[in-house]
Structure 1
Amino acid sequence: MEKQRYTIVNPQVRQNAIRALMALPDGHTATFAPPTRSGGQNDFFHSICSDIAKSGFEWAGKPRKPEEWKVLLVSGHTKATQGEVEFVPGLEGEFVNIRESTARMSVKRAASLLEYALAWCADHHIPLTDTRRQGYLMEAA
């Protein structure tokens, strides 16, 4: 049997999911979960990270790449929202931030991360040129 996934958006889809569940043979697994962050939220967040990198803003003495800004923003957001930030020794003696996964964030949590990132950019006067050009921000900065 192929993997099936149902996003419950109306009663008909709910009934289809129930029928599929009832037809499962013993030993199969059914998982129910809240929605995770949307592709649009993911794209929006990555555009913010790219804009910060393109701005040349320095952190810890040097400009950072978009993927580094992602780690910094996710870690900062976790700390700002009283989440657990944990640093552990890495495999080669470096220190690693065991951070929250953006792919597993709920829609609400991802919205909070976006709000945090936008506020951080505003506080640091980061121009969000590409983010605005891609249609994520409509108001003038």
Structure 2
Amino acid sequence: MKRKARERLEEASDRLARELLKMATDPNVSESVRLSAIKDALDRGGVSAKSAVEVEVGPPKPYEQIFDGLGSVESGSRAEFRRSLGIPDDSEADDRRPLADRPRELPAAEGEPIDAKIVAHQPHRRIHRHPAGGEREG
């Protein structure tokens, strides 16, 4: 008996779905009925609000391990960090000097020569293109 009822519903499902969609878009039907018809049509189409929670089981992903470790990050100054590594920190001494007394260039790496060439400054040359063709400097 249930099998025959199921067969009749399956045979009529296309026609019933069509009627459901008509109700969902009919302005003469009350809003509550239209909303119910829309929800039912979406549910039958496989588009429904999920009521289940997805849970992953397994080792944490690398980015999750990084984020977990961020809670234990301690902050401090550059000088404190360098002292903890046994590196002398002279940046604070440089910061107290007037700007004019600070070095303007980076120090050379020890044991490596610096190769440089002094070039006279040349003003930027502009080339104007004439609409009729031809060029002139200006």
Q: Which TM-score applies when normalising by structure 1?
A: 0.19
The structure carrying a bigger strand percent of its residues is 1
Between the two structures, name the one with larger relative contact order (CA 8 Å, sep ≥ 6): 1
Task: Report which of the two structures shows the higher radius of gyration computed on alpha carbons.
Answer: 2
